[in-house]
Chain A
Amino acid sequence: MQKFINDPSKVVDEMLEAYIKVHADLVSPTENERVIKYKYAPVEGKVGIVTGGGSGHKPAFIGYVGRNMVDAVACGEIFSSPPAQMFLDAIKVADAGKGVAILYGNYAGDNMNVAMAMEEAEEEGIQVKKVVANDDVPSAPKGEEASRRGVAGEILMWKVGGAKAAMGGSLDNVIEVAQKAVNNTRSMGIGLSPCTIPEVGHPNFTIENGKMEVGIGHHGEPGIEVVDLEPSAKVAERICNVILPDLPFNSGDEVVALISGLGSTPLMEQYIVYNDVEKILTEKGIKIYHSYVGNYFTSLEMAGITCTLMKLDDELKKCIDFECDSVGMRQFQRL
């Protein structure tokens, strides 16, 4: 294991300790050392946006805490759901009295811990609703969308939900538009090499040299198949063949395209994949309205990418255009 760490069981705590120093202009610590909030949260008159999940996905989840984005985040152990108390504490620091939207990804632990935190929050008189992202197409067949995992599409859900809340939307408005974002988003991952959880010390799966894992999850969940490594153009074709028909995305649609590295894939390669995806979309008459390329949602040092597309309507466009400031995503208002 080649890592810059001290005690493997303290990696999350040491990272958070630094994070609040580095980004003191944007975030603050809270009484719960695993809950980090937007510096000005709770924002008066605004619905609170909360997320959380296992750590190891930098900049997700914490990187999306900021202005017009997420108000508070619960940071679990590496790839392990935060306990209900953490979600509850995040809900409390995000609540400005207009209710709190919990926007998170579809994983067994998160579902249970969020459910219990919501029960407690309601008992304490906080109005709270949730949206669960399930954008990872290969993780379950069509018709079983509810059991699909959430991957990089979560970022678009936060972006859209965060914008809606900042525009003054009610809790129901925020939930509705975040759900719409999820419903219109599809993702797929390709893995080239595994990752190592520091406390485990060795990769918990392998990808042979010269192979790639198609449909891999962002904790290394097995994909659809392992095949010989292909040129980027072929990889893009594979991805489009899976995600385009699933929604489906049709000629004339406008989309957000998000290519995220999984940790150790150079940006150069991410741009190359983007280029190939863009060509296919253009050929099919699908217009890219806004693009993101970079390490937006990683899986420790896994090599690989996820490709995410979200089909837009006017409301989603307005939310994507809205300015925001967070470590993971900074945008000026689109004119």
Chain B
Amino acid sequence: MRFSGYASVSAIITMQTFTNKAGSVIVDKLILVIQENKQYLSDIDGLTGDGDHGINMNKGFTMCREELDKNPGDLSYSLKVLAKILIMKIGGSMGPLYGKFFKAIGTALEGKEEIGITEMGEALKAAVNSIASISPAKVGDKTLIDTLVPAQAAYERAQVEGKTLSEALEAMKIAAAKGRDSTKDMVAKLGRASRLGERSRGVLDAGATSCCLILHVIADAGKDILY
């Protein structure tokens, strides 16, 4: 924190930002969290699908690591590298869905040196819209939408209420976890698990779970570099 003396604490905290440059650490941590959870995500997916979610995500995120090691850059650049790899190389449904998600965030943040509550809010909104543009999934279908949509809504609510970036990110985290957990009692309506109908009830959705991991990293790593 840079404030000192008698300056109003709240006035300064509401201006919380992190730089696009420092933000590249968010992508570093996203790659790590996917690598660390490769088996966990595949195990969840194996209960309703073919158990390849962790494997495929890990493949894409690891390819991104290799590319960023060669050509590093700021947050928006790194997100767009990740997006391109997911879209073009991964396949299934998760490649294009997460590809679109990261591309939207990367594009929204492009050219912004400082990222504050407004910039992040716009990026999250763009991510939700972008996924909606290629997938008919709605809340309740047992997909990553069940994590993403309430998480973005919680962030936006905090933003409207005049909360700080750090508070909005925290609200997003809580809503994401709740959204992920909500998929447990749902019957899959879309995607591979929908082939199981009632048999899909009782387990978390793998996409909703990975989406929660991703949003938590964005929140935690973002909060770490706020100043």
- Please tell me if B90 contacts chain A, counting CB pairs below 8 Å: yes
Indicate which residue in B135, B196, B199 contacts A108 across the interface (CB closer than 8 Å).
B135
Contacts of B134 in A (CB 8 A): 111-112, 115
Indicate which residue in B50, B88, B97 contacts A197 across the interface (CB closer than 8 Å).
B50
Q: Return the chain B residue nearest A89 by Cβ.
A: B88
Which chain B residues (128-169) contact chain A, with CB distance < 8 Å? 134-135
Query: Which of B51, B88, B99, B135 counts the most chain A CB atoms within 10 A?
Result: B88
Task: Choose, from A63-71, A93-101, A198-206, A256-264, the stretch at the interface.
Answer: A198-206
Minimum distance in angstroms from B111 CB to a CB of chain A: 22
Given contacts A80-B91, A115-B134, A200-B46, contact A217 B96 (CB under 8 A): no
- Please tell me if A79 contacts chain B, counting CB pairs below 8 Å: yes
Contacts of B96 in A (CB 8 A): 84, 109, 112-113, 115-116
- Please tell me if A221 contacts chain B, counting CB pairs below 8 Å: yes
Minimum distance in angstroms from A257 CB to a CB of chain B: 27
Task: Choose, from B22-30, B32-40, B187-195, B219-227, the stretch at the interface.
Answer: B187-195
B197–A85 CB distance below 8 A: no
- Please tell me if A237 contacts chain B, counting CB pairs below 8 Å: no
Whole-angstrom distance between the alpha carbons of A240 and B50 in the complex?
33
Whole-angstrom distance between the alpha carbons of A221 and B197 in the complex?
8
A85–B88 CB distance below 8 A: yes
Contacts of A111 in B (CB 8 A): 134
Indicate which residue in A81, A85, A217 contacts B93 across the interface (CB closer than 8 Å).
A81
Minimum distance in angstroms from B213 CB to a CB of chain A: 21
Whole-angstrom distance between the alpha carbons of A219 and B194 in the complex?
11
Whole-angstrom distance between the alpha carbons of A222 and B187 in the complex?
13
Task: Give the number of residues in A that approach B within 8 Å (Cβ atoms).
Answer: 31
Which chain A residues (68-90) contact chain B, with CB distance < 8 Å? 76-86, 88
Q: Return the chain B residue nearest A78 by Cβ.
A: B50
Minimum distance in angstroms from B79 CB to a CB of chain A: 17
Contacts of A48 in B (CB 8 A): none
Query: Which of B91, B93, B135, B194 counts the most chain A CB atoms within 10 A?
Result: B91
Contacts of A88 in B (CB 8 A): 88
A79–B88 CB distance below 8 A: no
A205–B50 CB distance below 8 A: no
A222–B93 CB distance below 8 A: no
- Please tell me if A220 contacts chain B, counting CB pairs below 8 Å: yes
B92–A204 CB distance below 8 A: no
Query: Which of B49, B195, B199 counts the most chain A CB atoms within 10 A?
Result: B195
B195–A217 CB distance below 8 A: yes
Contacts of A85 in B (CB 8 A): 88-89
Contacts of A220 in B (CB 8 A): 195
- Please tell me if B87 contacts chain A, counting CB pairs below 8 Å: yes
- Please tell me if B181 contacts chain A, counting CB pairs below 8 Å: no
Which chain B residues (40-57) contact chain A, with CB distance < 8 Å? 46, 49-52, 55
- Please tell me if B95 contacts chain A, counting CB pairs below 8 Å: yes
Q: Return the chain A residue nearest B197 by Cβ.
A: A222
Minimum distance in angstroms from B87 CB to a CB of chain A: 6
Minimum distance in angstroms from A51 CB to a CB of chain B: 15
Minimum distance in angstroms from A189 CB to a CB of chain B: 13
Which chain B residues (63-116) contact chain A, with CB distance < 8 Å? 87-93, 95-97, 99
Whole-angstrom distance between the alpha carbons of A299 and B51 in the complex?
18
Interface string of A204-230 (1 = CB under 8 A from B): 110000000000010111100000000
Given contacts A77-B52, A80-B50, A199-B51, contact A109 B197 (CB under 8 A): no
The 8 closest A-B pairs by CB, nearest first: A83-B91, A112-B96, A221-B195, A85-B88, A109-B93, A80-B92, A222-B197, A197-B50
Q: Residues of A with Cβ closer than 8 Å to B?
A: 9, 76-86, 88, 108-109, 111-113, 115-116, 120, 197, 199-200, 204-205, 217, 219-222
